[in-house]
């Protein structure tokens, strides 16, 4: 139990579907992140939220849309994805220093 | 720009042997440094971190790392490998006020 919970753990979606990934942290942290982990590629930082405001967006395609309604919750809304978007999506939170990660959502786009 | 280089994408050791995973960073100011471990289909688990103070940092599962500013290194070691140590290991740096920047990872294999 890391204090960061991601749902669902696995998701299969078609290219025309709309789905959302959810992340919840119970650590009282003020920053939350989305990372993408693809096979044989480094971890890619997608979005950073600090105090519920987006502070970083690393050239992520608009088919990925983050939402941070409060300091404990972070969503990643997905629509019209491509097969190359299949990956493990990791959520993390931090206050100072280390980030704590959820278990990830394994996304497969068919 | 800050960056992290992990030397060797794959390291193989025998059970009971020394584990040494190498990490070098580039940073204009002393950064925060971290090691994470990832088991298949899991998230990343923090092994240890260096922020300030003692340069030899002890972590979970018998791992430790030493911050060497002169060498810009933060290598991870464990005196005696166990089969359960087989996993992927990531070194990361956190420049002040930003998100973690990760290395490409090193896969550790442990044979009996």
Give per-residue pLDDT as tens, B42-77: 899 999 999 888 889 999 999 999 999 899 999 999
Nearest by CB to B43, which of A2, A31, A94? Answer: A2
Question: Mean pLDDT, chain B, as a whole number?
Answer: 92
- Dihedral sign, Cα of residue A47, residue B41, residue B49, residue B66: negative
pLDDT, tens digit, 9 for 90 and up, residues A11-58: 999 998 999 999 999 999 989 999 999 987 889 999 999 877 777 777
* Alpha carbons A3 and A18: distance in angstroms, whole number: 27
Percent over 90 (pLDDT), chain A: 77
Q: Determine contact, residues B36/B19, Cβ cutoff 8 Å.
A: no
Amino acid B54: pLDDT: 85
Using a CB–CB cutoff of 8 Å, tell me whether B2 touches chain A. no
Two tokens at B40? 């298949």
Name the DSSP class of A65.
E
Nearest by CB to B41, which of A31, A102, A106? Answer: A106
Amino acid A110: pLDDT: 93
pLDDT, tens digit, 9 for 90 and up, residues A65-75: 999 999 899 99
* Interior angle at CA B56, CA B52 and CA B40, nearest 5: 95
Interface of A with B (CB under 8 A): 2, 4, 6, 31, 33, 42-43, 45, 48, 56, 88, 90, 92, 94, 97-104, 106
Question: Mean pLDDT, chain A, as a whole number?
Answer: 91
Amino acid A53: pLDDT: 78
Two tokens at B3? 């960056």
* Alpha carbons A87 and A13: distance in angstroms, whole number: 12
């Amino acid at each position: 139990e890391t204090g960061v919970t991601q749902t669902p753990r696995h998701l299969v979606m078609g290219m025309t579907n709309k789905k959302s990934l959810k992340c919840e942290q119970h650590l009282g942290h003020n920053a939350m992140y989305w990372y993408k982990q693809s096979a044989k590629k480094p971890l890619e930082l997608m979005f950073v939220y600090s105090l519920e405001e987006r502070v970083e967006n690393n050239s992520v395609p608009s088919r990925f849309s983050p939402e941070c309604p409060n300091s404990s919750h972070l969503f990643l809304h997905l629509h019209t994805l491509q097969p190359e978007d299949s990956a493990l999506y990791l959520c993390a939170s931090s206050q100072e220093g280390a980030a704590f990660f959820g278990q990830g959502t394994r996304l497969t786009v068919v | 720009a800050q960056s992290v280089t992990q030397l060797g994408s794959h390291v193989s050791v025998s059970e009971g042997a020394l584990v040494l995973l190498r990490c070098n960073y580039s940073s204009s100011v002393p950064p925060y440094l971290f090691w994470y471990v990832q088991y298949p289909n899991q998230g990343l688990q923090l092994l240890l971190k260096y922020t300030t103070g003692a340069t030899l940092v002890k972590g979970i599962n018998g791992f430790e790392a030493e911050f060497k500013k002169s060498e810009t290194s933060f290598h991870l070691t464990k005196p005696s490998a166990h089969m359960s140590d087989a996993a992927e290991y990531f070194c990361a740096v956190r420049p002040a006020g930003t998100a973690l920047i990760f290395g490409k990872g090193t896969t550790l294999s442990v044979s009996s």
